[in-house]
Structure 1
Amino acid sequence: MTAPAAKPELRPANPQFSSGPCAKRPGWSLSALEGALLGRSHRAKEPKARLAEVITRSKAVLGMPADWRLGIVPASDTGAVEMALWSLLGPRGVDVLVWESFSKEWATDIAKQLKLADVRTLEAPYGRLPDLAQAAPDRDLVFVWNGTTSGVRLPNADWIAADREGLAICDATSAAFAMDLPWDKLDVVTWSWQKVLGGEAAHGMLALSPRAVARLESFNPDRPLPKIFRLTKGGKLIEGIFAGETINTPSMLCVEDALDGLRWAESIGGLRALIGRSEANVGAIAHWVERTDWVDFLAKDAATRSCTSICLKIVAPWFTALDAAGQAAAAKSLASMLEKEGVALDAGAYRDAPPGLRIWGGATVETADIRALLPWLDWAFAQVAANQQKAAA
């Protein structure tokens, strides 16, 4: 396509398109944290009530079934996933679905750290989903709902058996609050505060169905569990974890920020509004991709395109003719140019993903900022292409 003759005049009001930690909600300022209960014990009455409020508001916004438990746990989404894997896996064979870097990490942990004997890895390359039909209902399932580093999400849960015998353990960190999660098809769901609602990092959320609780209370792993992984005592669920009694000390500043994000979500219309904002963001990018010849979605199937971690690949002939190192350098140059201009921060592809761009489109990102960014992508690509042509001359 013909490159713009000059830099675009309109700039995104907020250039923060990082896929984690993600942009704060529109209008956020430090004043949102003025009510934080700093210098207080998290076990005291008022701080504990704030922690419990994060749980109750999260359940309400997400439409989580009343009989599910939800707790605040250490170490972000990673900590929540690891707690589930180490505490629940073992009684059955395990199918792990892998199609990007984080799902591959869970497969590695299950096979090489837990060293379970019966593990099947159902894998697909970046841009695609594995063959979901291979997932067996009598085995435990471990999967991400949305591939944060590939921009590929599950289109539905039709492939998960309603009468399954195994547990469905879902890492939903870049999906929760931006995509519909079918609670009846899931048993464990995890996420972190720093994704769709733009909260501060280091805290995870662990949601358990009644079936998951039954597994915890009936299965005693023959491996040591660190304190921060322990969810039962004397064969019974530690109910306090799911009522604001956290395993370790949380940041009350981060708790206040999480509550601010939840209140904002409620104020704009709840889950449906959050989903609508994210879908509008990927929709704006999709319209641009349709008329742009140098770029495409990394997701092969339009039905699997993420509305949060929107991953783009460069398809210009000169780019695809480069070797792997050349492609990586060109893509890095593109992302660096956007950052230097102050129009898109942290917009490069994840380090393990194919070279390209990754633009966060979660609910805290304004669609107007997405639209303002797109001409800059064309402009920056044109500069990189021109530099490449000069170098080749």
Structure 2
Amino acid sequence: MTSEPTVRPGRPFFSSGPTSKFPDWSLDKLSTESLGRSHRSALGKSRLKYAIDLSRELLGIPDDYLIGIVPGSDTGAVELAMWNMLGARPVTVAAWESFGNVWIQDAVKQLKPANLTVLEADYGEIPDLASIDKGDDIVFTWNGTTSGAKIPNTDWIADDREGITINDATSAIFAQEMDWSKLDATTYSWQKVMGSEAAHGMLILSPRAVERIESYDPPWPLPKIFRVKKGDKINGAIFEGATINTPSMLATEDYIAALEWAKSIGGRSELVARADRASKVVLDWIEATPWLRNMVSDPAKRTNTGVCMVFQGEWYDGLSDEDKAAVPKKIVKMLEDRDIGYDFNGYRDAPPSLRIWCGSTVEANDVAALLPWIEWAYEQVKTELS
């Protein structure tokens, strides 16, 4: 392709986090009555509780699971779960990309629980999860945000498990169905699939997780923002609209607006379908493009959110490592400068790659409009580096 394409994406937002706002989002869609009010006021707590209740409804979370809004985005929620629950049993931490490796480092260098097993795999692969003992506590990432590799199923989690599962679901939840019967602590952040503002995390606890927290006191100190017990019992107020520290009510209203939009279009099933439609456009294009391959070799493990692709072919393979790393950066800059597509470079710690976010707030036709531009930019870069 030598000439510039003529069709431009209507919404050029392809970042994997914070992700695109929902279609037709605008500030005037946000309720503002809670702004300038205390989050502890009846109004403030009611809006926080409404965000929790809408989340439960849309995600189909069982009634006996607790849902809380916690500090520190998904990172804070995962670490809160790890700091409160690990150390009671043997632990396996499984990771296959950058963020999962953060949880490994937390376990290895910070918490240092006895009987720790680490399972790792390269980008695009998943370790042998079936090898995990059912007596272990398990920390894992449902969907590899920086590799595009997701777990294909939850068959590897035993129904009669003795340990608890801690599931970082931030780049999957709302776009992929969760198997709640296998999940004890599940976390996510507002700025991923729902495209809302950042800073706050969601913590979802099963009755088994609550029992662990109430029956176990870890040997390490807990920072205030990780403390979810009051005496020997879970602090139920945290899961009814109270928060450990002061939340942003503006961010809360933005999340509520996204949840209300999701409900208006058909709920969780339509959110999943939207991600499936957008990702299929990219997945099919990668298969038809000889100079690209999906970072994930097994189709059953390919995500429908942050689709990651690497370059291949005789021309690319002959480049220096420096030039190989420059190819995706140059493509992205060329298209960002033209306002065609923003923030779709691969993650900084991943192999040189492109990563196109196809989550539930993205339109499939915008993804389709981006791809010919990538082809055009690739040819420009190829000429420049040849």
Aligned equivalent of 1:173: 170
Is 1:48 aligned to 2:45, yes or no? yes
Is 1:15 aligned to 2:16, yes or no? no
For the residue of structure 2 that corresponds to 1:111, the secondary structure is helix
Aligned equivalent of 1:343: 340
Residue 109 of structure 1: which of 106, 110, 120 is its match? Answer: 106
Answer whether contact 1:192 1:204 (CA < 8 A) is retained: yes
Shift of the alpha carbon at 1:35? Answer: 2.7
For the residue of structure 2 that corresponds to 1:83, the secondary structure is helix
Answer whether contact 1:80 1:206 (CA < 8 A) is retained: yes
Please give the TM-score of this superposition, normalised by the length of structure 2.
Answer: 0.99
Shift of the alpha carbon at 1:33? Answer: 2.0
Letter in 2 for 1:218: S
Is 1:353 aligned to 2:337, yes or no? no
Shift of the alpha carbon at 1:115? Answer: 1.6
In terms of mean alpha carbon deviation, does 289-298 or 41-50 score higher? Answer: 289-298
CA distance in 1, matches of 2:91, 2:2: 55
For the residue of structure 1 that corresponds to 2:122, the secondary structure is coil
Aligned equivalent of 1:95: 92
Shift of the alpha carbon at 1:43? Answer: 0.3
Long gaps (5+) in structure 2: none
Aligned equivalent of 2:385: 388
Is 1:80 aligned to 2:68, yes or no? no
Write out aligned runs for 1:264-279 (5 A). Answer: 264-279=261-276
Aligned equivalent of 2:376: 379
Please give the TM-score of this superposition, normalised by the length of structure 1.
Answer: 0.97
Is 1:206 aligned to 2:203, yes or no? yes
Shift of the alpha carbon at 1:340? Answer: 1.3
CA distance in 1, matches of 2:323, 2:147: 20
CA distance in 2, matches of 1:375, 1:146: 27
CA distance in 2, matches of 1:24, 1:233: 37
Letter in 1 for 2:94: L
In terms of mean alpha carbon deviation, does 186-195 or 319-328 score higher? Answer: 319-328
Residue 218 of structure 2: which of 212, 221, 229 is its match? Answer: 221
CA distance in 2, matches of 1:259, 1:34: 9
CA distance in 1, matches of 2:349, 2:289: 25
Write out aligned runs for 1:116-195 (5 A). Answer: 116-195=113-192
For the residue of structure 2 that corresponds to 1:165, the secondary structure is coil
CA distance in 2, matches of 1:303, 1:222: 40
Letter in 2 for 1:217: E
CA distance in 1, matches of 2:380, 2:228: 54
CA distance in 2, matches of 1:288, 1:329: 22
Long gaps (5+) in structure 1: none
Shift of the alpha carbon at 1:343? Answer: 1.0
Aligned equivalent of 2:55: 58
Residue 30 of structure 2: which of 12, 29, 33 is its match? Answer: 33
**1:227-255 deviation digits (Å, cap 9, x = unpaired):** 10001121100000000100000011011
Letter in 2 for 1:342: D
Answer whether contact 1:36 1:253 (CA < 8 A) is retained: no
Shift of the alpha carbon at 1:335? Answer: 1.5
**1:56-94 deviation digits (Å, cap 9, x = unpaired):** 000110000110000000010000001001000001111
Answer whether contact 1:36 1:256 (CA < 8 A) is retained: no
Aligned equivalent of 1:236: 233
Shift of the alpha carbon at 1:34? Answer: 4.4
CA distance in 2, matches of 1:138, 1:268: 41
Shift of the alpha carbon at 1:355? Answer: 0.4
In terms of mean alpha carbon deviation, does 339-348 or 365-374 score higher? Answer: 339-348
Kindly report the root-mean-square deviation, in angstroms, between the aligned alpha carbons of the 2 structures. Answer: 0.9
| Number of aligned positions between the proteins | 386
For the residue of structure 2 that corresponds to 1:51, the secondary structure is helix
Shift of the alpha carbon at 1:290? Answer: 2.2
Letter in 2 for 1:76: S
Aligned equivalent of 1:262: 259
Runs of 4+ aligned residues of structure 1 deviating over 4 Å after TM superposition are none
Aligned equivalent of 2:309: 312
